[in-house]
Amino acid sequence: MKKLLVLGAGTAGTMAVNKLRPRLRRDEWQITVVDQDDAHHYQPGYLFVPFGAYRPEELVKPRRRFVPDGVELVLGEIDRVLPDETKILLADGRELPYDYLVIATGTSPRPDQTPGMDGAEWRRSIFDFFTLDGATALRDKLATWEGGRLAVHVVEMPIKCPVAPLEFAFLADAFFTDRGMRDRVEIVYVTPLEGAFTKPVASRHLGGMLEERKIALEPDFMVERVDNETRTLVSMDEREVPFDLLVTIPLNMGADYVARSGLGDELNYVPVDKHTLLSKAYDNIFAVGDASNIPTSKAGSVAHFQMDLFPDNFVEHVHGRPMTKAFDGHANCFIESGHGKGLLIDFNYDTEPLPGKYPLPGIGPFSLLRESELNHWGKLMFRWMYWNVMLPGKELPLPALMSMAGKETGDTVGASR
Ligand SMILES: Cc1cc2nc3c(=O)[nH]c(=O)nc-3n(C[C@H](O)[C@H](O)[C@H](O)COP(=O)(O)OP(=O)(O)OC[C@H]3O[C@@H](n4cnc5c(N)ncnc54)[C@H](O)[C@@H]3O)c2cc1C
């Protein structure tokens, strides 16, 4: 029997085993997936928890439920991969051998990487919402907060769902407005980027939305430390942003075992070929989802589009044939903008987010880079799709590769407004 070992039963790992099991003969292939616990979190839901829109318990289901028949789920913390011995070690001493390894252990917020971030003020005036604990603690804080200066802050890119901090700022504006206390809250958006977002067209558009909402922008801010006594963010070039409440996106990093195994870059992401997801160092290791270093967003949608192509490549590769599918970095993300509206962006390695309609040119129904109520409903519907369609590896009627159909390029921007 050949052994396929998948590390991580999150978004990408779960989809991978669901898509690969039917493609690999059961009398030839044993498939095992490893995760540290049996609680699968719907992470996009974390955004809504601080504002009381989702309850934490609505976002968690047992992983086991999504692991198909014929795949073994092993619970345990991965300690390291020994690629030359083709086996992994778990922290409790167990060893699991493999012929092929798929790394899908994602990325995590690391407040410990910024001096002062997880100090005395952590979860008192400094919060994150990239963990369910953090989002829940922030909900409790916001319920009684009387106002002051709110800094929404990103330490460094890449982060998973790079639009999430902007969404948080938009939703905070709406939340304080609805509570009749917006005039008592000053909101500042502090980012290491030179504008609101990474790509020029989207950055201009989203920057304009911050301005409309009277959210100040503090760009090019490379944080050096958080001063707990004065409650101040201090940058490398000694600028200071004081806050009463800091909502930060800590540095995001791949799992530490990736570094211990000699498989990662400086942020513990696995270097892979950006089209095939095959490790640059080992011919029997792939990295999928947030765990790799590919230059696109770290997002569930990316994992989903990858899983439309990766299984075919995997099967070709293990049979010694050239891989025929090339992933293009396709990502799309709904952006909540508050008061029941949202935007959508759709892009890939080569094409930045552009205005237009998606998925059907001229029809949509979703609008790209423009606010609409339907986009908001799309975002909410995504949770159902996640549990019922994406994770079980069912097909969605959306093309895996990005399409220019429906997008307004330089010549057409504005034509359909
Ligand atoms: C606030 C927020 C909002 C988001 N919004 C969106 C959105 O609107 N749209 C979108 O597409 N994406 C969104 N995302 C991103 C999306 O959730 C992730 O990109 C996606 O879950 C990545 O899947 P993954 O399988 O690579 O990693 P994960 O789903 O994080 O899975 C990694 C798994 O590896 C396991 N693991 C890690 N280390 C170890 C170890 N040492 N031993 C054992 N197991 C280990 C973990 O327990 C976990 O189950 C959002 C994320 C956040 C935090």
Q: Is the pLDDT of residue 415 over 60?
A: no
Give the pLDDT confidence score for residue 395 in this predicted structure: 85
- CA distances, 58 to each of 137, 150, 381 (Å): 16, 27, 14
Question: Which atom of ligand 1 approaches the CA of 9 most closely?
Answer: 49
134 within ligand 1 shell (Cβ under 6 A): no
Contact by Cβ (8 Å): 81, 88: yes
Residue 375: Cβ within 10 Å count: 23
Residues 6+ apart with CB under 8 A from 196: 166, 189, 203, 206, 207, 209, 210, 217
Out of 134-143, 246-255, 368-377, which region has the weakest mean confidence (pLDDT)? 368-377
What is the C-alpha to C-alpha distance for residues 312 and 52, in angstroms, rounded to an integer?
A: 42
Q: What is the pTM of this model?
A: 0.96
Q: Is the pLDDT of residue 4 over 50?
A: yes
Ligand 1: distance of its center to the CA of 45 in Å?
A: 12
- In the block, tokens 């396929």 appear at 4
Question: Which atom of ligand 1 approaches the CA of 300 most closely?
Answer: 11
Give the pLDDT confidence score for residue 414 in this predicted structure: 39
Q: Which two tokens stand for residue 193?
A: 């980027």
230-271 pLDDT, tens per residue? 999 999 999 999 999 999 999 999 999 999 999 999 999 999
299-314 mean pLDDT: 97
What is the C-alpha to C-alpha distance for residues 145 and 312, in angstroms, rounded to an integer?
A: 52
Question: Which atom of ligand 1 approaches the CA of 256 most closely?
Answer: 41
59 within ligand 1 shell (Cβ under 6 A): no
Which protein residue's CA is at the shortest distance from atom 4 of ligand 1?
Answer: 44
321-331 mean pLDDT: 97
What is the C-alpha to C-alpha distance for residues 299 and 335, in angstroms, rounded to an integer?
A: 13
Please name every residue paired with 356 in a beta bridge, in sequence order, or none if there are none: 368, 407
Confidence tier at 399 by pLDDT (50, 70, 90): confident
DSSP secondary structure code for residue 160 in this structure = B
Ligand 1: distance of its center to the CA of 160 in Å?
A: 8
Cα-Cα-Cα-Cα dihedral sign, residues 43, 44, 49, 53: negative
Query: In this predicted model, which residue has the larger pLDDT, 318 or 414?
Result: 318
Confidence tier at 404 by pLDDT (50, 70, 90): confident
Question: Which atom of ligand 1 approaches the CA of 334 most closely?
Answer: 8
Q: Which two tokens stand for residue 246?
A: 């800091």
Instruction: Report the residue among 34, 63, 108, 161 best suited for mutation to probe ligand 1: largest number of ligand atoms under 8 A from its CB.
Output: 161
Confidence tier at 396 by pLDDT (50, 70, 90): confident
What is the C-alpha to C-alpha distance for residues 88 and 157, in angstroms, rounded to an integer?
A: 29
User: What is the largest distance, in Å, between two alpha-carbon atoms of the chain?
Assistant: 66
Confidence tier at 94 by pLDDT (50, 70, 90): very high
Q: What Rg value do the Cα atoms of the chain yield, rounded?
A: 22
